[in-house]
Amino acid sequence: MRAPIILENVTKTYGNKKALLNVSITVKEKKITGLLGPNGSGKTTMIKIILGIIRKDTGKVLLRGTDPFKDPRAREHVGYIPERPELPNSMPVREVLITAARIYGSTSPKDTVDEAISLAGLSGNEWKRFKELSAGLKQRAAIAHALISNPDILIADEPTSNLDPIERVRILDLLVDLNRKENLTLLFTGHVLAEVSRIAEDIIVLRNGKLLFQGSPRNLMDIASIVAIRANDLVRLSKLLEEQGFKTRYTPFSLTVYLSGREEIPRLMKVLGILAGRHGIDIYSIDTVEASLEEMLRRE
């Protein structure tokens, strides 16, 4: 069966800014795909192109086999949670959702809405106005809104931004639940490696509009290993490691070494052993770190 979302060699420029450059990806049916990249890497642009909200310059975009920009019907049953969700404040959220259900042609809008409220974990807060909700509940209201069309594809742009750490975990767990219970294909974006790799089965990494990686979280960890070393003379150790071809960055308390893969770790250990003995450097600790993507992408 054909993948529900396919991009082939997609390029998008805003003026002379290249937001996406020759990007090809596929989003697998019923899986959780995480789109990872620092701010400005092109995530929202990609999401909007997939939804047919904006037009690509060149390349091919298929949403369920159809060009979403040319044929808006491709977007039916695709739920979208935008980066900064907003719902009308003129009436309680439940009323907003009922209006949406009527627009979608639901035969029993109240049942549709009650189910969406329950699935999104909004029960008990549905009679409040959107502006009265906390950030986490606003996100839930937006999720409930996205569920009204009874989607089989759910697309969430930075669903955890602006949330506190506990709420971030809860919202991601809720999305995982929806993926499992409702059999949804889930595509979401984020800029924190640990967060995206916790729930994604497939990860797409963008940097400066270019596709850096698509594959399993495990394989992503393998291509990008970072090691933090504590020692008595970090400045000197940094210089010595650079001479051995390692890329390092010195921070006040530790030395970060960027490796191109896990397979480089044994060589690093060997070199450290030799350098420590030869130059009298005391090494206190060596840790592999799961750094933020920003950290990881700082590599050339």
Question: Is the C-alpha dihedral spanning 248, 250, 251, 252 positive or negative?
Answer: positive
Distance in angstroms (rounded) separating the CA atoms of residues 2 and 6: 9
Residue 40 in the binding site for ligand ADP (CB under 6 A): yes
Q: How far is the CB of 36 from ligand ADP (least distance, A)?
A: 9
Taking CB under 6 A as the binding criterion, the range among 35-43, 103-111, 168-176, 226-234 that sits at the site for ligand ADP is: 35-43
Q: How far is the CB of 47 from ligand ADP (least distance, A)?
A: 8
Strand partners, 6: 26, 62
Shorter beta-carbon distance to ligand ADP: residue 18 or 247? 18
| Of positions 45, 112, 238, 254, contacts ligand ADP by CB under 6 A | 45
| Of positions 44, 185, 225, 254, contacts Mg ion by CB under 5 A | 44
Taking CB under 6 A as the binding criterion, the range among 11-19, 65-73, 177-185, 221-229 that sits at the site for ligand ADP is: 11-19
x-or-dash string of contact with ligand ADP, 61-100, rule CB under 6 A: ----------------------------------------
* Nearest Cα residue to 171 out of 190, 143, 202, 203: 143
Residue 17 in the binding site for ligand ADP (CB under 6 A): yes
Taking CB under 6 A as the binding criterion, the range among 12-20, 84-92, 120-128, 284-292 that sits at the site for ligand ADP is: 12-20
Residue 136 in the binding site for ligand ADP (CB under 6 A): no
Residue 127 in the binding site for ligand ADP (CB under 6 A): no
Residue 42 in the binding site for ligand ADP (CB under 6 A): yes
- What does the block give as tokens for 294? 């920003």
User: Pairing between strand 225-231 and 283-289?
Assistant: antiparallel
Residue 37 in the binding site for ligand ADP (CB under 6 A): yes
42 binds, among ligand ADP, Mg ion, none (CB under 5 to 8 A by kind): ligand ADP
- Our measurement of the distance from residue 127's CA atom to the centroid of its chain's CA atoms, rounded to an integer in Å, reads 31
- Our measurement of the distance from residue 289's CA atom to the centroid of its chain's CA atoms, rounded to an integer in Å, reads 19
Taking CB under 6 A as the binding criterion, the range among 43-51, 59-67, 141-149, 289-297 that sits at the site for ligand ADP is: 43-51
Count CB neighbours of 165 within 10 A.
Answer: 9
Shorter beta-carbon distance to ligand ADP: residue 39 or 108? 39
Shorter beta-carbon distance to ligand ADP: residue 50 or 144? 50
Distance in angstroms (rounded) separating the CA atoms of residues 259 and 246: 7
| Of positions 5, 7, 10, 19, contacts ligand ADP by CB under 6 A | 19
Q: How far is the CB of 39 from ligand ADP (least distance, A)?
A: 4
**Phi (first) and psi of residue 29, to 5 degrees:** -55, 130
Residues in the chain: 300
- Our measurement of the distance from residue 174's CA atom to the centroid of its chain's CA atoms, rounded to an integer in Å, reads 15
- What does the block give as tokens for 6? 């396919």
Residue 44 in the binding site for ligand ADP (CB under 6 A): yes
Count of helices and strands (H, E) across the chain: 10, 13
Distance in angstroms (rounded) separating the CA atoms of residues 146 and 203: 23
Q: Which residues contact 96 (CB under 8 A, 6 or more apart)?
A: 87, 88, 130, 145
The contact set with ligand ADP (CB under 6 A) reads 14, 17, 19, 37, 39-45
